[in-house]
Amino acid sequence: MKNNNNLLKVPNNNSKDAKLKKLFYDVDDSLFNEDNYSKEKLEHLCVCSGGTTSSCAKNGFTTLDLRKNHSKINLDRKTNLVTIGGGVIMGDLLNHLQKHNRSFPIGLSKLPGAGYILTGGVSPLSRGYGLAIDNIESIKGFLGNGTFISLKKNQIIPEKQLIWEAIKGAAPFFSIITEIELKTIQSNPIEIIEGFINLNELSEIIQLSEEFPENISLQWIYAQKIYIYVFAELKDNLEDKKTETYLMLLKKFPKLEKNYYENFNEINFFPKELDLYELNTNNHSEVISLLGEDLQNNIPIFIKCLNEIMKNKPNNSCYVASQQLGCKTKKLNYGSSFFVHRNSTWKPWIYASWKKNDLQEKKIVMDWMYKSWSSLKRFYPNIHLAQLHNHLDSHEEEIRLAFGNRMSELKTLKNIFDPQGILPPL
Ligand SMILES: Cc1cc2nc3c(=O)[nH]c(=O)nc-3n(C[C@H](O)[C@H](O)[C@H](O)COP(=O)(O)OP(=O)(O)OC[C@H]3O[C@@H](n4cnc5c(N)ncnc54)[C@H](O)[C@@H]3O)c2cc1C
């Protein structure tokens, strides 16, 4: 344990500015002592892996930073399974795997850590390989009551089955995961069709994308203007011909250009030209992630709704974006998990950002985020709990919409395995 009144160096600005009570680098018995957390202040332990969310450090709270002592990566060349520490960031994982011509379905950024995997993990490759949680082979870690756990797929005894399923999607509420073993995939070349488009074109491209095969996915971002990426994994000649016929349909959009990458590792989504404010240290932000099925006939109404949302945007740093899942993520043959909205095709997110310390702007921006969420609910009624919001009023509704009919099982697990409420509250 270390006393540390300093700040935590993490990508998320809210967390970076938080004054910690204490900082731990390893799982230590005193972490599980309830006397170390003030009940009046609703204190709990914050866990930091990639440090990309607003919940890995909070003013006056203790953080366990897994990045220092839980950052090993080891690829078994015989099984092609990779073991990573709970503090590994996705960019380091991809770099390591690429040396052996292997890869993993990471998300749109290389910055997130194990939180990306444990909360589900939606990748541009997910339509072909499932969510990140669908690729977990085993885990090691500690429950909120301090008990060590080690679980391996296909060797789970019935008493541990519920824990195993809940780790896949809801781990942060009742466990600290120090090691994860993952399936890896062959690293293949990627073709990307990308560029700026207008709202009418977005409407047409969404319609096309709902027919895409599993190796192609659409991601779009509407910040100042709309930018899209149609991401296609190239596998072999026969399949690549089929891929080309889908990509040919995008030729009619004059501003889109085709780029070829040797592997996923070479791609940087959302480049500087988009002028995103995510890394602006003068700003604080919150993000909410939604889930919904195919838009089909609702595309025109959705586009109208998106237009309204963007017209009411309180400042230039706020945006709405979306990524496409579906195909393999809809199949249940990975075994049950706490990512319950398996019929989802779209994961849009609303990024709300304000000048830090400007409480008036924060209120306006958060109101915009909630209003936008409310108008998008008819298309995307569910939540992907990629960010923990127990510090926000929307927390209860978010967890209900994220875990659906598994909410009571999660509450039971929390009561049994984190009875003192050491970890983030439900
Ligand atoms: C630029 C950017 C792009 C993104 N793109 C995608 C995307 O394409 N797809 C997608 O699905 N998500 C995406 N996300 C969301 C991201 O995956 C989630 O917010 C994720 O929770 C971040 O994990 P982290 O480890 O970086 O964050 P942290 O802030 O370190 O942790 C997030 C939460 O997870 C918990 N946690 C982290 N590690 C552990 C552990 N080892 N054991 C127990 N609990 C733990 C912590 O308690 C914390 O509350 C993106 C986020 C950013 C910032």
Burial class (CB in 10 A: 0-12, 13-18, 19+), 289: buried
Which ligand 1 atom is nearest residue 108's CA? Answer: 8
Residue-wise burial string across 312-330, b where 16 or more C-beta atoms lie within 10 A, e elsewhere: ebbeebbbbbbbbbbbbbe
Tokens linked to 405: 């009919």
* CA of 372 relative to ligand 1 center, distance in Å: 23
Q: What distance in angstroms lies between residue 77's CA and the mean position of ligand 1's atoms?
A: 27
Q: What is the pLDDT of residue 278?
A: 61
For a mutational test of ligand 1's pocket, the pick from 8, 10, 56, i.e. the residue with the most ligand atoms closer than 8 A to its C-beta, is: 56
* Spatial CA neighbour of 420 closest among 1, 38, 25: 38
Q: Report how far apart the first and last C-alpha atoms of the chain are (Å, whole number).
A: 26
Axis crossing angle, helix 407-417 with helix 395-403, rounded to the nearest 10: 110
Give me the pLDDT at residue 240, please. Answer: 81
Residue 331 has a pLDDT of 85
Tokens of 214: 């599993």
For ligand 1, what atom is nearest to the CA of residue 120? 11
Whether 346 contacts 325, CB under 8 Å: yes
Probe ligand 1: pick from 27, 90, 118, max atoms within 8 Å of CB? 118
Q: How many Å lie between the centroid of ligand 1 and the Cα of residue 349?
A: 14
What CATH number was assigned to the domain covering residues 190-404? 3.40.462.20
The DSSP code sequence of 297-311 is GGHHHHHHHHHHHHH
Taking the centre of ligand 1 as the mean of its atom positions, its distance from the CA of residue 239, in whole angstroms, is: 33
Write out the DSSP string of 88-133: --HHHHHHHHHTTTEE----S-S---HHHHHT----TTHHHH--GG
SS3 236: coil
**DSSP letters along 331-382, please?**
--TT---S---TT--EEEEEEEEEETT-HHHHHHHHHHHHHHHHHHTTT--E
User: What whole-number distance in Å separates Cα of residue 343 and Cα of residue 34?
Assistant: 40
**pLDDT at residue 281, rounded to an integer:** 82
Residue among 27, 25, 26, 60 at smallest CA distance from 44: 60
Kindly list the domain boundaries of the chain, sorted by start residue.
Answer: 2-65, 190-404
Tell me what pLDDT residue 3 has: 46
pLDDT at site 276: 66
Question: How far, in Å, is the centroid of ligand 1 from the Cα of 38?
Answer: 26
Q: What is the structure's pLDDT at 334? A: 72
**Residues forming a β-bridge with 76:** 81
Q: Which residues contact 18 (CB under 8 A, 6 or more apart)?
A: 7, 8, 57, 58, 59, 61
Please identify, by atom number, the ligand 1 atom nearest to the C-alpha of residue 116: 17
CA 139 to ligand 1 center in whole angstroms: 17
Residues in the chain: 426
Ligand 1, pocket residues at CB < 6 Å? 47-53, 55-56, 66, 86, 107-109, 111-116, 118-122, 171-172, 175-177, 323, 386-388, 424
Q: What does the block give as tokens for 211?
A: 């027919």
Cα separation, 89 vs 72, whole angstroms: 10
Using the mean position of ligand 1's atoms as its centre, give its distance from the Cα of residue 101 in Å: 25
pTM equals 0.96
Closest ligand 1 atom, residue 172 Cα:
44
Q: Could you state, in chain order, the average pLDDT of each consecutive group of 10 residues for the chain (426 residues)? A: 68 92 92 90 95 94 96 98 98 97 97 97 98 97 97 96 97 98 97 96 98 97 94 86 93 94 92 65 93 98 98 94 97 84 98 94 98 98 96 96 97 97 95
